[in-house]
Amino acid sequence: MAAEGVPRVAVCPGSYDPVTNGHIDIITRAANIFDKVVVGVANKPVRKEKTLFTGEERREFIKEATTGLENVEVEVFSSLLVEFARDQGASAIVKGLRAISDFEYEFEMNQLNKKLAPDLESVYIIASPNYSFLSSTGVKEMATFGGDVSDLVPGPVSEALSGRLER
């Protein structure tokens, strides 16, 4: 149990290249549970090659989309996730789960993180049905071919995508 008066902090890590309404949904729901949520924008994700947007751009998009959430902060990090979480004083890592494919990866990451930081708990929020099909990769692909993504991402992201990707 957390000591009385000590705020419960969670980190929401991801590459957010770019942030989607599905991410915002998870961040909002986490902010309803924890005293403070620090969104961690991974600057050197192990799994992905070059990102479309820089770390700072990705951070700005999330900051803009979460201005209404007073207990949410956004930081770029390039260290180990458990170290970032520790630096932020977090007791939990919050992740969104869409499908079985997410589960497999998260299951593995969970075991690794638990080994590195046994005191840090990982918490999983199931994607809302509206967003369970939504991924940053899918959005980028749609935008590349001129598809309308305005329902899927925050306004500034939609604009930036069409500026950068449309052929």
Name the residues that contact ligand ADP, by CB under 6 A: 14-16, 20, 22-23, 26, 45, 95-96, 98, 102, 127, 131, 134-136
Looking at the Cβ atoms of 22 and 55, the one nearer to ligand ADP is 22
**Phi, psi angles (nearest 5°) of residue 63:** -60, -45
d(CA 49, CA 145) in angstroms, rounded, equals 21
For residue 1, the minimal CB distance to ligand ADP (Å) is 26
Q: How far is CA 51 from CA 15, 38, 71, 140, in A?
A: 8, 21, 27, 11
Task: Pick between residue 1 and residue 46 the one whose CB is nearest to ligand ADP.
Answer: 46
Q: How far is the CB of 60 from ligand ADP (least distance, A)?
A: 15
Output the smallest distance, CB 34 to ligand ADP, in A.
15
